[in-house]
A and B are shown apart, each in its own frame.
Chain A
Amino acid sequence: MKRWFYLIVILQLLFLVVEAGTKQLEISRGQVVTLKVVPVDPRSLFMGNYMALSYDISNLNLAKIPHEGALAAYDKYDTKVYVELVPQKPWAVAKAIRLTPPPPEENKLYLQARVRYGFSPRDKSMLAVEYGLEQYFIPETKQEEVNRMQWNPRGKTPQITAEISVTKKGQGYIKRVLVEGKALGY
């Protein structure tokens, strides 16, 4: 029992170090792009309050963006797609959409995504996707501040962007969220 206990506990602790270490490494090594954000804010069961983010590249117009294969191939919930990005100022834009990842030798910047809603009956070319980057966890004490920041009824809506670190395999990690160019300090 003693040997198994030590082995499992050491594996558990190692898991924490490796999990945190690999995420840190992937974020620091990834290429950083800025995306335009459209925020809202709910709460998760174990990880606390978060801003639910949606990006302007969360809705893709397949009539305008070049895409691989037939349109119908994208019209299914949870289909995995790869969105090729152009990292330009002030934020990156979608250049192409593919059903398979670009070959590594092409050295292209792309994000993995999943189809959420198929084409709407009104517009047979608008595709809603998720990048797995839709939750930005914030301190409970900052909830009010974030709410005011996002939903200012009198003033103009601030410009919110997110810096995303993208790995070579298209996995994205949120590095920072910026409001009017100023990073949220949490």
Chain B
Amino acid sequence: MIHGTHDHDFRSVLAPPAAPAGLAERVLQAARERRETGALALRFDIAASERGVARLHPGKGEIRAESRRARTLAERAREELSEYLEGLRSYFTVPIDLAATAGFQRAVLEAARAIPFGEVRSYGWVAEHIGKPRAVRAVGTALGRNPVPLVVPCHRVLRSDGSLGGYGLGLDLKSRLLSLERETPAIVGSDTTRIVCRHGCPNEQRIAERHRVVFATIAEARQAGYRRCRRCLPADH
């Protein structure tokens, strides 16, 4: 197809197909929805112990904590939650206290925590992961009782046919969270320091938008002359 080695050959071969009808309208609608999702963080009630965040559910934005340290943790959770919902963070650093859960449910929640940002797994995968391959339905129930949704990402678990399954906070929010994660970049570098970070790392948050460069892999970032941040240690999986 490229007969010679001339540049105009590349131009014609690479000419892309036309944009689909209604694209602009869909983009504008998504922008309106995003503004609503970002405002959600302020409405969560958060309960924390000395060990970490213990409960999280939609309410009036109240904090329940028995000590100063617990309060600090709850406030930190709200801040990270708000950054996450605005697409500014890809992981949570605030500790979680799952003491109120035990046995099977605990194992299910731990498995859900292992699903990386921006990825999804099936209920069956979770069941296999905890060594109970036949307990697919029970996995759904355990995830439905997740005391710390979003932070323990039970929204990343779908049916094996790709349909959404269930979600304690409503399927609309589940699908919004999944598209938010698809849209948030994971490996971000600064063209002034030539360092790449995980999205949400404190060093990454200081990068001005105009100095941001996103890479597909750490290997490609290295080729472009960037090195890994020592604080968040981004890695190719």
Co-assembled chains A and B: no
